[in-house]
Amino acid sequence: METSDALDIIGNLVSALKAYATKLPAVVHLSVVPGGLKPTPEAVASYEQAVYRFRSHSTGAALKRLNESLIQSLEAFEMGLVLKAIQPLLLCLDHLELWQREKAITMTSADEKRLREYRQALHHIMPGKEPELEGAGKGL
């Protein structure tokens, strides 16, 4: 699997999270929905399919290390826990960026741009635009 293929799959997951997050109300009291708001079965199946497509096609040792994070993201997504689904994806992006700096993988300038866009999209979903959080999750 090429780095661009991995970014395609991560992009699909980011899109699924963005779509799900737009359907959530700004504030939901836990007494109303104690288990959270779960995504539709179709959305979960699509997310799961993307994760398993990554797992079945990741042949490089570096990319295989992302499997656990993607599974964690899937499990959180299935339960409707958007924030817990975002963190593993950010970790995947951090690893890709680190491996690119260490020359373990190669990225084109278009791939680097997509990586930045995915990171920005995930940060946009997360609450907390306060200045003290500025720079948090910007990479390893």
Domain coordinates in residue numbering, the chain: 3-133
Q: Backbone phi, then psi, for 130, in 5-degree steps?
A: -65, 150
Q: How confident is the model at residue 27 (pLDDT cuts 50, 70, 90)?
A: low
Question: What is the Cβ-side half-sphere exposure of residue 24, based on CA atoms within 13 angstroms?
Answer: 22
Nearest to 2 by CA among 119, 118, 96: 96
pLDDT, tens only, 78-93: 988 888 899 999 999 9
d(CA 127, CA 109) in angstroms, rounded, equals: 29
And the tokens for 50? Answer: 């993307």
pTM metric for this prediction: 0.80
